[in-house]
Chains A and B, each alone.
Chain A
Amino acid sequence: MNFEPTIVAFLCNWCSYAGADLAGTSRFQYPANVRTVRVMCSSRINPAFIVNALLEGADGVLVSGCHPGECHYVSGNYLARRKLVLLRRFLEHLGIHPDRFRMSWVSASEGSKFADVIKEVTEAVRPLGPNQIKREQVWMQQAL
């Protein structure tokens, strides 16, 4: 059986979550690998959430916010970008392939783009295989 990665996607309420809703309304199909977590703004996301998602079973993580300059909260997406760009480098040092983490900008009107982003992320993570730092795997090794 093919490996089906689990992707956890953090979406801001005003743009990307709405974009994901529009993908639904427009019936743009995309892989069911994605699970979304709604936050009000991408700036709410602590880098620790991404690490936690990877520990808790995700094989890939997506953070998606409003396009630069279009943030519902004026500048939250810039703040998110500044933090998460650093995180991406940090992940490499942790031995996590940087392709497991991605940021994107999807507006409320970009349903088809949301579907495309999910397809791309899923396809980027699939060849990387299961994420090796999943907490359960660490536990399993300890148990043995």
Chain B
Amino acid sequence: MSTKRIGVYICHCGVNIAQTVGIEELKSFAATLPQVKVAENYMYMCSEPGQELIRKDIKEKKLNRIVVVACSPRLHEPTFRNTLVSAGLNPYCLEIANVREQCSWVHKDKKVATSKAKSVVAAAVTKVALLEPLEEKEVSVTKTAMVVGGGIAGIQAALDIADSGFKTYLIEKEPSIGGHMMQLDKTFPTLDCSACILTPKMSDIKNHPNIELLAYSEVADVKGFVGNFKVTVKRKPRYIEEAICNACGTCAKYCSIAIIDRYNEGLSKLQALHIPFPQAIPAAYVVDPEECRYLKEGTCRQCEQVCKELNAINLDMQEESVELDVGTIVVATGFDVFDANRKPELGYGRYENVITGMEFERVVSAAGPNQGELLINGKKPKEVVFIQCVGSRDKTVGNEYCSRVCCMYTAKQAHLVREKLPDAKITIFYIDVRAFGKGYEEFYDRVKGESVYYRRGNVSEVYKKGDKLICRAEDTLLGKPIEVPADLVVLAVGIQPSAGARELGKLLKLSTSPDNFFLEAHPKLRPVDTGSDGVFLAGCCQGPKDIPDTVAQASASAAKAVIPLAQGKVKTETMVARVHEQACRACGYCVEACPYDAIELQLQEVNGREKSVAVVNEVLCKSCGACTGVCFSGAIQQTGFTDDQILAVIGAIGKEY
């Protein structure tokens, strides 16, 4: 092994490192370490002059390995890799010794901290001497994208990707796109009609030359990796030929089976053969197979008779499977509203006039069951109570987070009650009002000014007294229990990840945070990326969001998803596993350990003899090193983290210097 020429560069980080770690002492220590040719220090290593110092030494003193003694590699490793590249050195000939986050900031005693820093530097020097140059590889990319979920997040993401010139598949599990936003009556704080601002975008989806909509479909399987995903989509039978149906609606008139209208949150009924709502996209009817008399009992087929001319009805339709090749994926699986039955003390399910916020949207919607009239049991309520934080900020139901939309939708709903019932007494029970968005605090002020009583404290129970409901709470500002009678109680139910999201998460190897929403790659700096390269998050699948935030995140996600498509190629992981074929005994432990199915046993010619060996697909490999951790013979090694390198570090770091 050729000798290495190592340079050690110690950063003061102003006083961040220098006040706890003796820089001079550390420098003279570093200079004594084997193969170290240069040991330098500088106020800010990451500054341009600091980097120039390294570049100059690489060129003039022929350094071939660099140790930067500074902050966490999680911060500036990419910076210094680029420094090496610009000086003509392989970027992987670098090791960072973390003496800030894990030394100077967590210890006070200068002597102790300096001693620890010496161990850390010694370990880094030991490791850098063993590092080998690594090559960055690229693979080509299928220039199409897939968006999963056709709510506002998925719609926006699909439109943005398609507008960038790339073919986009939009997968929606329901018969129509639109999602929850389609169910909302108005949006806060502007009071735009929700459907009015959404339906143009839905039409755009339908008409966009780059978008192929697969409604009533679900992702069944995902194989491959960034740039080259192979997706299997299950298309549920609609029993109506989507391309032929002109949505005339004649068939539905002949369907005698009434089913619950889920678009109206079960507050009204429609036929088993139906269109989910008038503006549905695709504009085609659908048969509910659970309820259709023919599909259940084998007789009827009335609808087919009336559609003879078009012949759009096909009750023999079967489920289909479609294979898609896509380069990147946007996940926009949205949310489910909290099931209010889980808070039985609030009377939901027990009293008819206790409804959820989502039900309220349908009740007051002009397209809803009452044509927009606010009627409860046929009567206009005189006293309306809103209860906040139902299923949010609540450990007892496992939802510790704030759902972020309930404060504002409740304010909006209170405003709608006021608009429709000028004399109603409106009370809102709250714990904290979170009016954080643009124009939200102003809207909250406006609603309060409309004689809406905000009372601080939350309702503990709802019970019946005569023909009124009694909401019992403590007004915590008065320190007194109060009982507010109500004809209508609206529960501000929170947001939970959509029930089907977990399955999709498994297929895409997405992690979830403790709140069960999908986990982003970095909470601040990579908020739409995920741990799976080429998979991005948009909307409420990542955490509760209002519409403006959802749309913004969807566009961000689309922009991210377009990058690999536009570049046409992606870099693969560099520190991949490599196999020493002669040492490999083909036990297959690494194959089992690999979470990415990146390793398989193949017959290969080794030293003129054919034998079975482990072969790593370097594109699939994500550089975790699980394979190396189970290999008995040391045949498979994660580059950059080989057994030799780690053992050398262990040897160096446990010593006192």
A residues whose Cβ falls under 8 Å from a Cβ of B: 6, 8, 13-14, 17-18, 20-25, 27-30, 32, 35-41, 43-46, 49, 52-53, 56-58, 67, 69-76, 79-80, 83, 109, 115
A138-B107 Cα distance, complex, nearest whole Å: 32
- How far in angstroms is the closest Cβ of chain A from B655? 6
Across-interface contacts of A46 in B (CB, < 8 A)? 628-629, 643
The yes or no answer to B653 lying at the interface (CB within 8 A) is yes
Across-interface contacts of B116 in A (CB, < 8 A)? 32, 35
A76-B623 Cα distance, complex, nearest whole Å: 11
Q: Are A72 and B106 in contact (CB under 8 A)?
A: no
**From A37, A40, A76, contact of B649 by CB (8 A):** A37
Closest to B640 in A: A40
Q: Are A69 and B651 in contact (CB under 8 A)?
A: no
Across-interface contacts of B656 in A (CB, < 8 A)? 6, 57
A45-B629 Cα distance, complex, nearest whole Å: 5
What per-residue 1/0 map shows which CB atoms of B620-657 lie under 8 Å from chain A? 00111110111000000010010100110111011110
Closest to B510 in A: A74
**From A13, A40, A72, contact of B511 by CB (8 A):** A72
Interface centre among B509, B513, B595 (most CB of A within 10 A): B595
A67-B624 Cα distance, complex, nearest whole Å: 16
Interface members, chain B 97-125 (any A CB < 8 Å): 98, 100-103, 105-109, 112-113, 115-116, 119-120, 123
A28-B107 Cα distance, complex, nearest whole Å: 9
Across-interface contacts of A52 in B (CB, < 8 A)? 647, 650-651
Q: Are B102 and A75 in contact (CB under 8 A)?
A: no
Interface members, chain B 106-149 (any A CB < 8 Å): 106-109, 112-113, 115-116, 119-120, 123
Across-interface contacts of B509 in A (CB, < 8 A)? 74
Q: Are A23 and B106 in contact (CB under 8 A)?
A: yes
What are the 7 closest A-B residue pairs judged by CB atoms, nearest first?
Answer: A24-B101, A44-B625, A57-B654, A43-B626, A24-B105, A41-B624, A73-B624
Across-interface contacts of A14 in B (CB, < 8 A)? 531
A67-B513 Cα distance, complex, nearest whole Å: 10
Closest to A8 in B: B654
Across-interface contacts of B646 in A (CB, < 8 A)? 37, 39, 49
Q: Are A44 and B629 in contact (CB under 8 A)?
A: yes
Q: Are A21 and B649 in contact (CB under 8 A)?
A: no
The bracket for how many chain B residues form the interface is: 35 or more
Across-interface contacts of B519 in A (CB, < 8 A)? 70
Q: List 14 A-B contacts (CB under 8 A).
A: A21-B98, A21-B102, A22-B101, A24-B72, A24-B101, A24-B102, A32-B116, A37-B653, A40-B575, A40-B623, A41-B624, A41-B625, A72-B624, A109-B523
Across-interface contacts of B102 in A (CB, < 8 A)? 20-21, 24, 36
Q: Are A29 and B650 in contact (CB under 8 A)?
A: no
A30-B625 Cα distance, complex, nearest whole Å: 29
Interface centre among B622, B626, B630 (most CB of A within 10 A): B626
Q: Are A44 and B641 in contact (CB under 8 A)?
A: yes
Across-interface contacts of B650 in A (CB, < 8 A)? 8, 37, 49, 52-53, 56, 58
Q: Are A44 and B638 in contact (CB under 8 A)?
A: yes
The yes or no answer to B280 lying at the interface (CB within 8 A) is no
What would 17 more interface pairs be, CB under 8 Å, given A21-B74, A36-B102? A6-B656, A25-B105, A27-B106, A28-B106, A29-B106, A37-B123, A39-B625, A40-B624, A44-B624, A44-B629, A49-B647, A58-B654, A69-B511, A69-B512, A73-B595, A74-B595, A83-B629
Interface members, chain B 72-110 (any A CB < 8 Å): 72-74, 98, 100-103, 105-109
The yes or no answer to B593 lying at the interface (CB within 8 A) is yes
A74-B519 Cα distance, complex, nearest whole Å: 12
Q: Are A79 and B654 in contact (CB under 8 A)?
A: no
- How far in angstroms is the closest Cβ of chain A from B274? 40
Q: Are A35 and B120 in contact (CB under 8 A)?
A: yes
Closest to A118 in B: B106
Q: Are B101 and A21 in contact (CB under 8 A)?
A: yes
Q: Are B101 and A25 in contact (CB under 8 A)?
A: yes
A46-B647 Cα distance, complex, nearest whole Å: 10
A109-B656 Cα distance, complex, nearest whole Å: 31
Across-interface contacts of B596 in A (CB, < 8 A)? 73-74
Interface centre among B101, B103, B106, B575 (most CB of A within 10 A): B106
Contact flag A39-B641 (CB < 8 Å), given A29-B107, A70-B512 = yes
- How far in angstroms is the closest Cβ of chain A from B192? 36
Q: Are B622 and A73 in contact (CB under 8 A)?
A: yes
Across-interface contacts of B651 in A (CB, < 8 A)? 52, 56
Contact flag A43-B654 (CB < 8 Å), given A21-B74, A52-B647, A69-B512 = no
A21-B71 Cα distance, complex, nearest whole Å: 9
A35-B113 Cα distance, complex, nearest whole Å: 11
Q: Are B74 and A17 in contact (CB under 8 A)?
A: yes
Across-interface contacts of A37 in B (CB, < 8 A)? 123, 646, 649-650, 653
What per-residue 1/0 map shows which CB atoms of B455-498 lie under 8 Å from chain A? 00000000000000000000000000000000000000000000
Q: Are A38 and B73 in contact (CB under 8 A)?
A: yes
A49-B641 Cα distance, complex, nearest whole Å: 12
- How far in angstroms is the closest Cβ of chain A from B108? 7
Closest to A11 in B: B102
Closest to A37 in B: B649
What per-residue 1/0 map shows which CB atoms of B284-298 lie under 8 Å from chain A? 000000000000000
Closest to B628 in A: A44
Across-interface contacts of A24 in B (CB, < 8 A)? 72, 100-102, 105-106
